[in-house]
Structure 1
Amino acid sequence: MTVDSTSKPDPPESDSPDCPVGEEDCFVIDELAAIRQELAELSQAVLTDQLTGLANYRHFCVQMEQEMERTQRSGQPTSLIMLDIDFFKKVNDRWGHEVGNQALIHIAGLMQQTVRRLDIPCRYGGEEFAIILPNTPLAAAIPVAERLRAVIEETPLQLEQQSLSLTASLGIGTYLLGEEVSIEELVQRADHYLYQAKQEGRNQVRHAELPKVDLVSSDEKAALFDLFGKPTEGEDDG
């Protein structure tokens, strides 16, 4: 078999499109790249709260829907923390709206530093924030909320000549496999406990009662009863 030594391998394919007019330096391609970059930035801006840099309400709804669908596929719970800055109206009334905006930015920064990498902190509206906790049961969501509450209490906002102490109240709702609950209803569930935290003195985390875990299975109980007999009525079970 004769090999044509003059043949050359095909040039590697390029990810960038070819210039329609065949120029090496193509202004059309440069403009296309600039437009793509601008569209990416606009898409990000649509989903970002301009003041705090957190995900905005629109992004919250998209992410919440995705995580609730994931719960139905995987069976892993999704938890939601709703957070409200305590006495925020007094901050605005006493210090002005500019300091109020600084307080919102301050809380948003603490949220980003404190929550886990998989969590999604969002600005829900006004002085209220939401944190989506994917694949997280209530028992695992509580330490996240408590840690964030403590960090906010222990980290005052530094103003020019003094510091401003802030606290927050938090409520937790959890979405489980098989539940027919909308995003709005899950938010209302978390808000219910948020308002409970407000009513009970603020600077607190409130949530549903944790389910009791029976460490002894029914089969193990039956085996113990066979060995020792069932306790008689009135007998002290220890």
Structure 2
Amino acid sequence: MLPTPPARPPSSGHSSPVDTSELSPQAAAATVFLNENLGPAQLQALFALTLAPAGTFSEQLREYLVTACRLLGMTTGILGHAEANRYEIMAAVNPPPGKVEGAIAPLNETYCNEVVEQAGCIAYANIASTPALEAHPALKSMPFQSYIAAPVWTEGRLTGTVCFGDNSPRAADFSASDRALVETLASLLGGLIDRENARKRLTSELGNLRLAYQEMELLFSRCQLPMAIMDFHGHWTRLNPALAQLLGTERSELQRGALEDVSHPADMQACQEALLAMQAGEITHFEQPHRYLGRQGQIIEVMLHLDVIDSHSGVILSQHQDLSERRSHEESLARMRHKLASMAPPGPAVPSVLDKLLPTEIFEQQLDGEIARSARHGQPLSILLLNVDAFTDFNRQYGRAAGDRALQQVSTILRNATRKSDLLSQRDDGSLIAVLGQTDSSGAIILAERVRHATAELHGLDGPVTCSIGLTCYHPAPDTLTLANRFELCERAQHALKKAKRQGRNRVRFLELEPVIPTDTFASPQAPSGFPSPDLP
């Protein structure tokens, strides 16, 4: 450890009142650190530094060191970063050999170690006259005969030092103004480093923000679900191609308008009330069946979802699920069922629920269409396979008629739990199969558990009945050109059903299907548009 430096001359104060109202921001900041012991030439030089046009960070550091070396009459100036026992040179003027910018040394082998330990300024006018310094390791790498240094504080903690040395001793001790100069310079350098660190953080954050905007724009523009960004007044600011395609209008034309321009008047009152409630902070989500008017006057039915994204800026995401295709599909299924019913031979018996299920051939054709529709819209599709437990034994014990009644009841439960647009059929082995459109794995499991519980609670049959259910889900990525294979889907549902049987029956088991992802999903955008990218410094 270095010996205690010569006592610092007493000072009547550390700072002098300065009127900063007429100063530039840089100069005003500098006045916080001014010491009344500074001489006129030192004050003038410091203000010149703060008022000079800013160059690069490295150029500014060097200019501070050069100016201080001139005022102190010292040859070498070094700014270093001290962390634990590691000392790294950040900037240097006329350094000793090997002590260039970026050089690293153990902190305890430098004079700056004492500056850090004392957290204050130290000064030696003649190191050779101090016997205790003869064995100091710093003499081998920095053969200074005079030395002065002060701690540098950044972001509220001591992180380094600024020091000045010369190979010749000084004729007299360092003056109070010399110490004040080095301390003030250390304070100014700390502020300069803080501003540079803040600039780097801001640059990094802006870069990350720009990447996030690019990714958002890519997902927004490629999503097959019609979407738009609007404000609290219903004015559209961004629309994706899927919405323009749904409405049959150019995006540029729609983007200049508002929700009410293309909406059925009868549906706008509820929307306007919801937007006012969102602006007042009363709600954050709204949904309703909504009708748009197409360019040719046709009615386009959607399920409209509005979600507040940023309440402060008034940003709302609107999503539109096309109901026209779904209702057309339901009507097609209804016509097909009616046609099948009309083709059935007349008989005295009342048709059972099982008679209303789709024949296998038609079911398979419809399943292929559902898979293609799921891939086109990027929406999930689930397959449910149900088998009445120990059904052969039930028939053997209670008779075939009792078994038919039980199967009809289970089929009724499954039909009531599904939607009209869902496909239901009976396989050759007697198991029931259902295709659940726009249903993910969690939704399918919930539905299956309801069916399983309702089956176990059936009354009025000849004996107790339970069922086992196997599930699988197909969830394609948007724009995929690779469709799932219906044989593979049904096979995975069969495996899940067998798993439920092996594990004790009367349970639901799920077998996941890997999603199909197009090869260009993660391609970088060539020229993102729509979402403005923040400007980098």
Q: TM-score range by the shorter chain?
A: 0.5 to 0.7
Aligned CA RMSD, in angstroms, stands at 2.6
For 1:59, the equivalent position in structure 2 comes to: 362
C-alpha displacement of 1:180: 4.5
Cα distance in 1, alignment partners of residues 343 and 487 from structure 2 = 21
Cα distance in 2, alignment partners of residues 126 and 46 from structure 1 = 24
C-alpha displacement of 1:200: 0.2
Cα distance in 1, alignment partners of residues 343 and 445 from structure 2 = 31
Question: Which runs of no fewer than 5 residues in structure 2 stay unpaired?
Answer: 1-335, 345-350, 515-537
Q: Select the residue among 139, 147, 150 that pairs with 2:450.
A: 147
The alignment covers a number of residue pairs equal to 167
Percent sequence identity over matched residues? 29
For 1:68, the equivalent position in structure 2 comes to: 371
Paired residues for 1:128-167 under 5 Å: 128-156=431-459, 158-159=460-461, 163-167=462-466
For 1:170, the equivalent position in structure 2 comes to: 469
Is 1:90 paired with 2:393? Answer: yes
Q: Select the residue among 110, 121, 136 that pairs with 2:413.
A: 110
**AA partner of residue 168 (structure 1):** C
For 2:491, the equivalent position in structure 1 comes to: 188
Cα distance in 1, alignment partners of residues 489 and 496 from structure 2 = 11
For 1:125, the equivalent position in structure 2 comes to: 428
Distance 1:40 1:151, change over 3 A: closer
More strand, by proportion: 2
Distance 1:76 1:85, change over 3 A: same
Which entry has the higher C-alpha Rg, 1 or 2?
2
**AA partner of residue 472 (structure 2):** G
**AA partner of residue 129 (structure 1):** L
Distance 1:65 1:44, change over 3 A: farther
SS of the equivalent of 1:132 reads strand
**AA partner of residue 474 (structure 2):** Y
**AA partner of residue 192 (structure 1):** H
Distance 1:147 1:75, change over 3 A: same
C-alpha displacement of 1:154: 1.0
Kept in 2: contact 1:54–1:108 (CA 8 A): no
Kept in 2: contact 1:60–1:124 (CA 8 A): no
For 2:380, the equivalent position in structure 1 comes to: 77
Distance 1:45 1:57, change over 3 A: farther
Distance 1:40 1:198, change over 3 A: closer
TM-score (norm 1): 0.63
Cα distance in 1, alignment partners of residues 503 and 455 from structure 2 = 18
Deviations 1:154-178 (A, max 9, x none): 113x24xxx4211110011112324
Kept in 1: contact 2:495–2:511 (CA 8 A): no
89-98 vs 197-206, which moves further:
89-98
Cα distance in 1, alignment partners of residues 503 and 470 from structure 2 = 12
For 1:226, the equivalent position in structure 2 comes to: none
TM-score (norm 2): 0.29
Question: Which runs of no fewer than 5 residues in structure 1 stay unpaired?
Answer: 1-38, 212-238
Cα distance in 2, alignment partners of residues 61 and 131 from structure 1 = 11
Distance 1:45 1:62, change over 3 A: farther
Distance 1:193 1:105, change over 3 A: same
